[in-house]
A and B are shown apart, each in its own frame.
Chain A
Amino acid sequence: MARYILRRSGYMFVTMIFVAVIGFLIIELPPGSYLEFEIARLRQLGGDMAPEQIRALEIRYGVHDPIYLKFWKWFSGFVRGDFGRSFEHRLPVSELLWQRLGFTVLISVLTMIFSWVVSIIVGVYSATHRYTIPDYAITVLQFIGLSVPNFLLALVLMVFAQQVLGMEVGGLFSGAYRNAPWSLAKFIDLLKHLWIPILVIGASGTAWLSRVMRGNLLDVLNMQYVQTARAKGLPERTVVWKHAVRNALHPLVMVLGMSLPGIISGETVVAIVLNMPTTGPLYFRALLQQDMYLAVTFLMFLAVLLLIGNLFADILLAWLDPRIRFE
């Protein structure tokens, strides 16, 4: 097991290098970047400091170097934890990133837990109550969940929260707490705001996962070993949860690995609509503005999350199914 994780980590490192090279190249491809814009701005400003500053920037980021040197300058810094600067925000990338990554991970993890818990419960219920009125109602809701774009759902929920619940919507905090230091009251305020993004980001995933769960469980419930479990005299609850659900979870776990970065990039539009302090809007803007060090750092982090998610899913799958071998 430990050897397996170690070997997988090795593969992950190699994959990361590929992602870095390709990501860097693609971001570098179009002419112009925020760095050039910044240099032009400094040149225009003139003054005594400008030529010095420009030289320093050119050397630091290798503006006139061939591309492989440019890449190396960035990559060696990246490995040491120096992600470069965001020229638009005039801040080191790491500062911008850590500020927002926390909320992104929080929302992603909560969304994932939410959609897993709901989809397993709903999937099991509709599979064990197939072709009853609640099952049909759930099916309708699932298709609505799948087909409504989540920015629209975000807007609807915002209106609902404001008009009906009288909440101050948008962002993750009320105005009073936005810049306040952390306190219990601020935390409670955060919880009050969190449900909207979780619901919005999780809706389509939950609808889909519960559909998958239903289908799988229906297959598993027809398996002979479920009949064996019933023939032992086990209560139906144990038959379903212990013997059937466990064997129906495979596809859900496999999806888990994929959904980690999906949630992070998928929340971008929602985060823009809801005005949330997460990474999505920042990444989006960085790409538009060709603020390349910020963009490529995000890309790297998304790739790391995907790989970690996959590894985590594989380990979970091995725990779930004894037939899987670490070979």
Chain B
Amino acid sequence: MANQAQSPATTRDLVVRVRDLHVYFFTDLGVSRALNGVSLDIPAGKVTGVVGESGCGKSVTALSIMRLVPHPGRITKGEILLYREREKQNGHSIVEEVNLTDLDPQGPVIRSIRGAELAMIFQEPMTSLNPSYTIGDQIMEAILLHQKCTRKEAEERAVDILARAGMPNPKTVVRRYPHELSGGMRQRAMIAMALSCTPSVLFADEPTTALDVTTEAQILDLMRELQAAMGMAIVFITHNLGVVAQMCDTVAVMYLGRIVEQAPVEPLFYEPQHPYTRALLRSIPHVGSRTKARLEPIRGVVPDPYATIQGCPFHPRCDYRKPGVCDVRVPATVEVGESHTVRCFLYTEQGEDNG
């Protein structure tokens, strides 16, 4: 793991560093532990995939970094650091470290970061845009908020960014309402809106799940293209491993509010270390496998988030579990290869007690 820069750096390798993040939801039914110590580095200008089953905390991780965790959720422990490039008066830029966990989630500092440094697109393009305002209005709103310009300039920028997002007839689309566009077009409009202020990180929370495969392929191409052109980091949240293989530079695998394995995309697919990752990879169909062969699902179901599991959260479903070890303590994160970390007692003796 990279050491934290002590002196003001001029460039940044990381844009966001998440350390031991705990997010709990205090509901009437009890405390739901959504995140139990997530540590994640988001490298600048790379695509990081976050995969896992539904309810494992992928979206909550992104929302926590945006400081948009909905009520009654709260960050109870851990820190989120943002490395923000700031232009100095002499023309040099320095990297400023902002601890997002210290900020008031509705305060002016985080609002100047949201939309400008950190942007997000969501799963449902049909409902992500406000039905009462035109596409242009909604994109211009973000531009006018974060950049000094007139309405006319903002509209020009909106047209421009829509064109870059592959929107046909961007000049007429700015005057259109969301219901006049198809799902794919709306997702392009969302992407344009998110990228309108050239953010350093774009969180894409299952951006193609609600789209048909052809549109999905187009949107994925577009995102890769824009990422290469604009150089922002993308955090790609998905449960589709095929999309991960196609899109990502590094991958983090989540299970029950923890990252259990993180690696560059190739080692993750070819040498998965964590039993959960292996099981996940075995559960997807392969081209060329015997036609009669059954898919191999992962045994059991994701436990209810209100329950606390003693030991490694995956041990009840794990084929390699070691009684007396896995059901007692939580394994520590260890490095098993270059930038390849895993949290499993198969690779370490070290662990920590459940908090």
Contacts and interface: CB of A to CB of B under 8 A. Distances in A.
B146 A233 contact: yes
Nearest to B124: A224
Contacts, number: 70
Interface stretch (A20-28, A109-117, A133-141, A315-323): A315-323
Contacts of A231: 66, 68, 114-115, 119-120, 194
Contact of B130 (A233, A236, A243): A243
A232 B114 contact: yes
Interface stretch (B8-16, B92-100, B105-113, B211-219): B105-113
A321 B128 CA distance: 16
B111 A235 contact: yes
Interface in B120-155: 120, 122, 124, 127-132, 134, 138, 141-142, 145-146
A235 B110 CA distance: 10
Contacts of B141: 232, 234
B322 interface: no
B256 interface: no
Interface string A210-252: 0000000000000111011111111110000001001100000
Size class of the B contact interface (CB-based, 8 Å)? 20 to 34
Interface in B207-260: none
A223 B112 CA distance: 23
Size class of the A contact interface (CB-based, 8 Å)? 20 to 34
B23 interface: no
A233 B132 CA distance: 19
Nearest to A323: B179
B193 interface: yes
A233 B112 contact: yes
Nearest to A230: B68
Choose among A227, A229, A231, A320 the residue with the greatest number of B CB atoms under 10 Å from its CB.
Answer: A231
Contacts of A243: 130
Nearest to B119: A231
Contact of B142 (A227, A233, A235, A321): A233
A228 B131 contact: no
A231 B142 CA distance: 10
Ranked 7 nearest A-B pairs via Cβ? A233-B115, A233-B114, A232-B115, A224-B127, A225-B130, A233-B111, A232-B142
Interface of A: 223-225, 227-236, 243, 246-247, 320-323
Interface of B: 66, 68, 106, 110-116, 119-120, 122, 124, 127-132, 134, 138, 141-142, 145-146, 177, 179, 190, 193-194
20 contacts: A224-B127, A225-B131, A227-B128, A228-B129, A228-B193, A230-B68, A230-B114, A231-B119, A231-B194, A233-B112, A233-B114, A233-B145, A234-B141, A234-B145, A235-B111, A247-B130, A247-B131, A247-B132, A321-B132, A323-B177
Given A228-B122, A236-B106, 5 more contacts: A223-B127, A225-B129, A228-B190, A231-B120, A247-B130
